[in-house]
Amino acid sequence: MSLNTRRSQADSDVDYIINALQRANFNGGAQGISSNLLYYLPRIRRMSKLENLVESVLESKLWSTALNGNFSILQEMTEAIFSWKLEISEPAISISEFYEVWDVAIKRCQTWTIAQLAILCGALCTKSKFESLQSKFFLDDGGLVAQKYIMWKERIFIPVWRQLFVKSLDHPEEAEQLAIFLTRIFEPNDLKRVPADPLTNVLMKLSLSYVRNPQVSTPTVSKSLSHIAKTLEVVLPIVGPQLVTQALDLICVICFELSQKELLAPQANYSSQVHSNQLLTTILIFRGCISRGRVPLQWYRQVAISLFYLNYIVQDFGKVGFDSYEYIYDVCATGIMQDFAQYSGYLEVMRGNIWDSQINNAVNSSRILYLLNFMESTLTQIKVTPAFLENFIVPVLSHFGKSSNTAICEAAYAAHLSLYSNHFSGRALQVWKTSHCRDFLNVSTTQYLNGILSSTQLVHIYCAIAEELPTLRQINNDISREVMQFTYLRVVNSGGESPQVVATLIQCLIKQLPHIGEQYLVDWLENCVELIRLCPSERDRILDSIWAEVTSAGISNRGLTWFLNMQSKL
C-alpha cells in the first residue's frame, strides 16, 4: 500500500469518527470511538482534520447518551491522547500546533458540560509529563504550551468546575465525578478557589467507602484514591471543626470494625495493595485533621485509637521512612499527654480491647505492641501517679513481660525501661524504682535464660538500670552494691548454662562498674576477672568488655591503671 493510499485511508477513518461524534444516537458504541480517537488524534498529519476532530470531540452529543454518566472514560481517554502525542511528537503537526488547535476549540465552548470538563481535565493531567519531557527534550521552545496549561486551569477549568460542582450537590453521582476530576489536578494554591466544606463531604464519603469496603468501591475511585486523599490532606485544615469531628467519629468506627473483622479471622499478612491503600488514605486524612492552629484534645485521642486498631496493617507495611505516620503519632501522643485523665483513659481503652485469650492472633498481637510502644514513647514524659502505677502500668508491663512472644516481651521491657527514665513523677516513683529494680532484673534474666530475650537485650536492660542507680542512691545509698551483688549471685549460680550465657551474665555485671563507688572498683574488677573460670572459652569476650568499660569516660583512671598493671597476669 502506497503512502498516499495510507493517508487517504486515515483521512477516511477520521471522517468516519467525526461523523459518529456528531450523531447522538450512534450505534457503534463509545468504547470503539474512544479507542479510535486514542489512535488517530495524536497521529493526524493534516491540520484541518485535526481541527475538525478536536471540535467534534468537545462538542459531541454522543457522550451524554453513550457513557451512562461515567465521564471518567473521557478524562482517561484525553489524558492518554495527550500523553501519546507528547511521546511520539508527530513531526507533521508540532506539539505547539497540536496544543494551539485544542486551545482554540476549548475557548469556543460556550455552555460547559461535565463531559467537556472531563476532557479538559484529561489534558491538564499531562502537565507533569509535559514538564518532564520538556526538561529533557525541549518540546516547546517558545514556552506557549506551558502557558496553556496554566491558562486552561486558572481561567477555564477552576471557574467552570466550581459552577458545575455547586449545581451538582443535589446529584451525588455527578458531584462525586466532579470532585474526582478536581483531585487529579489539585494543588495547594487552588485551595481558596474551591468550596472546601462541600468538597470535603464528597471526598470523605468516597475515601471512607473505600476504606470500609474496597471490594464495592468503583474502579474510578480505586484509581484516584491517592489523589482524593492528598486533596483531603490539604483541604481539611480549613474546613469547619464540626465536619472534622464527624469524619473522625466515622473513621474510629470503621477502623474498629476492620480490626474486629480481622481479629476473628486473621490473615497471613497485611501487605497487599488494598491494605496499603486503606492505611495511606486514613493517614493522609488524619494529617489534614490535625494540621491546624487549634486541635481539640478529643481529636488526638480519636486519631490515636484509630492507629491502635490499624496497627495490624502497620506491622506489615512498616514504619521506617513512613514520615507521615511518625508525624501523626508524635503529634497525637503529645496532645494526649496534655491531660493525665485523657492519657490514662486512652491507655485503659486500649487495654480493654486486647483479648488475652487470643495469644497467637496477629491482630491482637498488633494491638498489644501498639499499647506497649505507646507506653514506651510516653512514660518518660508523663507525671505518673502512684495509683495509676500500681493499678495499671505495673500489671500491664508485668503481664506482657512474661509473654512467650519475643516481640511482645521486648516491647514490654522497653516500656518498663522508659518508666525508669521518668524523672517527672517525684519521690514516690523513685521509691518504687528502688524497691522493684532487682525484681525487674530477675524477671529479665529469667526471660533471657528461657530464650525469649537475646543477650544484647539483656545487657541493654542491665546497662539502662545501672545508669539510673546514681539517682536512686538518694532513696537507698547502698542500691548500687545491692544490684551488683544480685547480679554476681546470678552469675555464680548459673551452673549448667552454656559458656556464652554465663559470659552474657558477666557482661551485665561489667556494665555496672561505672556506677559503683570508686573505693570498690578494683575489688569488682577482680571479681569479674575471677568469674572467667566459669566460662574459660569466653575469656577474650569478657576481657574486651572490661577494657571497653575501663577506657570509657564513666570510670576513673584507677580502673585503667589496674587493667594495664594486670595485663601480664591476664
Which pLDDT does position 150 carry in this prediction?
Answer: 98
Cell of 124: 491538564
CA distance 537 to 544: 13
Which element (helix H / strand E) includes 327? helix 323-336
CA distance 138 to 435: 74
Q: CB within 8 A of 562, min separation 6: which ones?
A: 521, 522, 525, 550
User: Exposed, middle or buried by CB within 10 Å (0-12, 13-18, 19+), for 318?
Assistant: exposed
Q: Average pLDDT for consecutive 10-residue bins of the chain (570 residues)? A: 63 93 80 92 94 97 91 98 89 92 97 98 98 91 94 98 98 98 98 98 99 96 98 99 98 98 91 97 99 96 99 97 98 98 98 89 96 98 97 97 95 98 96 98 97 97 97 96 98 96 98 93 96 97 95 87 81
The neighbour count for residue 245, using CB atoms within 10 Å, is 15
Which pLDDT does position 3 carry in this prediction?
Answer: 52
Place of cell 547502698: 478
Query: How far is CA 371 from its chain centroid?
Result: 18
Q: pTM for the complete prediction?
A: 0.94
Cell of 84: 501519546
CA distance 269 to 254: 20
CA distance 341 to 338: 9
Q: Measured over all CA atoms, what is the biggest interatomic distance in the chain, rounded to whole angstroms?
A: 105
Cell of 530: 575471677
The neighbour count for residue 170, using CB atoms within 10 Å, is 8
CA distance 535 to 523: 20
The alpha carbons of the chain give a radius of gyration, in whole angstroms, of 34
Which pLDDT does position 553 carry in this prediction?
Answer: 78
Report whether 528 contacts 546 (CB < 8 A). yes
Cα 11 to Cα 28, 56, 92, distances in angstroms: 19, 15, 14
CA distance 31 to 97: 27
Sign of CA dihedral 244, 249, 251, 252: positive
Place of cell 546470678: 490
Indicate the DSSP class of residue 143: S
Q: DSSP for 188-233?
A: GGGGGGS-HHHHHHHHHHHHHHHHH-GGGS-HHHHHHHHHHHHHHH
Which pLDDT does position 336 carry in this prediction?
Answer: 98
Place of cell 468537545: 58
Domain positions in the chain are: 3-189, 425-570
Cell of 342: 485523657
| Long-range pairs for 68-71: beta carbons < 8 A, 24 or more residues apart | 69/173, 69/174, 69/177, 70/177, 70/220, 71/114, 71/115, 71/118, 71/177
Report whether 273 contacts 329 (CB < 8 A). no
Cell of 479: 542500691
